[in-house]
Amino acid sequence: KNQVEQSPQSLIILEGKNCTLQCNYTVSPFSNLRWYKQDTGRGPVSLTIMTFSENTKSNGRYTATLDADTKQSSLHITASQLSDSASYICVLRGGSQGNLIFGKGTKLSVKP
């Protein structure tokens, strides 16, 4: 079983609509959780970071939430734009050697 599970696997929405992406984890993380955005053909880039004392953090149209008790995080995108089309990946640090653990990502397609 993957230590970081993301849902849905893919999502298609119309421009201007909102959406929420989910990340559930089982690993006991060392420090924090981070969301990445990966544009097609490019490496992932950090979008927002959540420490385990935070419940909500916003970065423009992106809002991340974290429930450390249930080990769930979500990324909410408001008023989606065509440029939001990308994969969104949830990442934690954990494991026996403290390495980064990546979820498989949610592929978001925003249609005009």
Partner 1 sequence: NAGVTQTPKFRVLKTGQSMTLLCAQDMNHEYMYWYRQDPGMGLRLIHYSVGEGTTAKGEVPDGYNVSRLKKQNFLLGLESAAPSQTSVYFCAISDRVRTEAFFGQGTRLTVV
Burial profile 67-91: b = 16 or more Cβ within 10 angstroms, e = fewer: ebeebebbbebeebeeebbbbbbbb
Nearest distance from residue 67's CB to partner 1, in Å?
Answer: 17
What 3-state class would DSSP assign to 82?
helix
Residues that bind partner 1 (CB under 8 A): 30-34, 36, 41-46, 49, 87, 89, 91-93, 97-100, 102-105, 107
State which residue, 13 or 49, has the beta carbon closest to partner 1. 49
State which residue, 58 or 109, has the beta carbon closest to partner 1. 109
Alpha-carbon distance of 61 to 103, in angstroms, equals 22
State which residue, 46 or 83, has the beta carbon closest to partner 1. 46
